[in-house]
A and B are shown apart, each in its own frame.
Chain A
Amino acid sequence: SQTIHQWPATLVQPVGSPLSLECTVEGTSNPNLYWYRQAAGRGLQLLFYSVGIGQISSEVPQNLSASRPQDRQFILSSKKLLLSDSGFYLCAWRGGMNTEAFFGQGTRLTVV
């Protein structure tokens, strides 16, 4: 069966420090991968999605970037965190057309 791993679960980082959040999927190949940020009252904001290795689509211009160095690995990064980057970050995967998305447990990022 397929599983999705996202870590760390919580992270406290100072302003100006770099960020790397990792998401990996097991039990499937060539998944579509997504990074979302969830904020209270604002739902899930799609940040990046990827349909294959090295293919990244960005939905919101911001201080973050994403990379997909391997088929089942999706990384969310920042060179210098801002206070406004605080939030709850979710990774998700889905198969091809007519499939639902499955979510990781999320990372609570606090920038101080």
Chain B
Amino acid sequence: AQSVSQHNHHVILSEAASLELGCNYSYGGTVNLFWYVQYPGQHLQLLLKYFSGDPLVKGIKGFEAEFIKSKFSFNLRKPSVQWSDTAEYFCAVIHNNAGNMLTFGGGTRLMVKP
């Protein structure tokens, strides 16, 4: 079965610090990759997505992610975090040879100190 690993379960940063959250998935082949964010008390929202083309994907609120096929990774980055980025972040993968199964990682809780 396909799996998605997010290695950082909890991250605490000060405002203006740079952020990188790791995401690795199993299996090769064609994949669709996503990062979702869940702010406190709110439902899941799409942050960014990769389907094909340029492996560096720009998302909302200054986030970006880079797809590195050889490393099976799709790490999320932001050069300077804000207090309002405090949330839980989820990486997700659809492996196109696995039907339409959308698999999520365990999530990373980010706390940004003002």
- Hey, which bits of chain A sit against chain B, CB under 8 A? 32, 34, 36, 41-46, 49, 51, 57, 59, 90, 92, 94, 97-98, 100-101, 103-106
- Chain A residue nearest to B10 in the complex (CB): A41
Specify which of B34, B102, B106, B107 is in contact with A34 (CB 8 Å cutoff).
B102
Contact B43 A105 (CB under 8 A): yes
Contact B99 A57 (CB under 8 A): yes
CA distance A15 to B53 in the complex (A): 50
Tell whether B18 is near chain A: CB-to-CB under 8 Å: no
**Chain B residues with Cβ under 8 A from A49's Cβ?**
99-102
Q: Of residues 10 to 29 in B, which have CB atoms within 8 Å of A's CB atoms?
A: none
**Chain A residues with Cβ under 8 A from B84's Cβ?**
none
Give the 5 A-B residue pairs with the shortest CB-CB distance, closest first: A43-B106, A44-B104, A43-B107, A98-B51, A103-B44
- Hey, which bits of chain B sit against chain A, CB under 8 A? 1, 6, 9, 32, 34, 43-44, 46, 49, 51-52, 90, 92, 96, 99-107
**Chain B residues with Cβ under 8 A from A97's Cβ?**
32, 96
A sample of 9 inter-chain contacts (CB < 8 A) reads A32-B100, A44-B104, A51-B100, A57-B101, A90-B43, A90-B44, A94-B100, A100-B49, A104-B43
CA distance A59 to B102 in the complex (A): 11
**Chain A residues with Cβ under 8 A from B96's Cβ?**
97
Which of A44, A94, A104 is the most central at the interface, judged by chain B CB atoms within 10 Å of its CB? A44
Contact A43 B34 (CB under 8 A): no
Contact A98 B43 (CB under 8 A): no
Contact B101 A42 (CB under 8 A): no
CA distance A101 to B8 in the complex (A): 23
Contact A41 B9 (CB under 8 A): yes
Contact A98 B32 (CB under 8 A): yes
B47 to chain A: closest CB distance in Å?
10
B6 to chain A: closest CB distance in Å?
7
